[in-house]
Structure 1
Amino acid sequence: MLKVGTNRKWSIIWPTLRNLNRPKSLLKRRPSRRHLSRRRKFREREVKAEAKQPARKNGAKAAPAAAEAPAAAVRTGRKIYSSKERAQKLGQIEKSIGSGETLKSAARQAGISEQTYYQWKKAATPPSDGGDLKDLLALEDENKRLKGLLAERLRKENAELKKKLGLA
């Protein structure tokens, strides 16, 4: 097997033999890692230089960078809310929704995400005990009993009509 660079003749021919079936766009050499890191450092320096504002002519001090940046762009760490704060925020969101605002905008205004709102709402509702199931079963039994009474009355009425018509 031939090694690239061992023989001048083959080192010149080798790239041509290797790239015969490749499109021209792939034949361009990629820059080395070292060159890329230099390029990256240069770009970072340019960005830093652009971020610095020129000194003012009259000697006035520039406003601090924190005041210029919008508050929404600054990302803070997670905040743990107490149950009282959660209830307060849920109430605030409910009021906003009641006044015709969308849930998304109301939650953003309260400073929480929609998902957090749904999780808090789910946690705030009291867990249902087995009473709901008992009530459902009682309603089904009553429904069955009433259907039976209705069927019995309809049979009696049907029998009376047949007697009056003389069909029975």
Structure 2
Amino acid sequence: MPDVKEAVVKEAGEAASVGQEKPKTAEKSPKAAKPKTRAPKIVRAKAAKPAKASASAAATVAAPVISGSTRKRYSEKERGQKLGEIQNFIKAGESVRGATKKAGISEQTYYQWKKPAAKESQSGELKDLVKLETENARLKKLLAERLRKENADLKKKLGIS
């Protein structure tokens, strides 16, 4: 058999030198025998082109198509009521997720509404609390400074470095 292969190789070399095509060998790899599979193509339906409308066809279309969103828009008053309702659910031991679900809004909406509401609620007690906390921090710094100074004076009097 090796003689046959050598003859095919020699013929192929001669054919290539003359400018002819190489003869095909009968041997094929096992991978080439398997058919290739493809993922199915996704075919999208094309939108139908509107036909030329006659006067009678225009009369049959009575209601215009409204392309608005279906989401509900709440007024400031309604938002406050929903936030209060959710706070009551949370105080009763409900989770935020459960409370927002019962109120009929999403968690994201709840947190978006809560941001400006938290800033507005600082008008009363929360502003006073913030003011007291800043005053407390100032007094703590002042006390710490005086204690350091007093400790340094005592170390000088006692001769401790």
What band does the TM-score fall into relative to the shorter chain?
Answer: 0.3 to 0.5
Which protein has the larger Cα radius of gyration, Structure 1 or Structure 2?
2
What TM-score comes out, normalization by structure 1 length?
A: 0.44
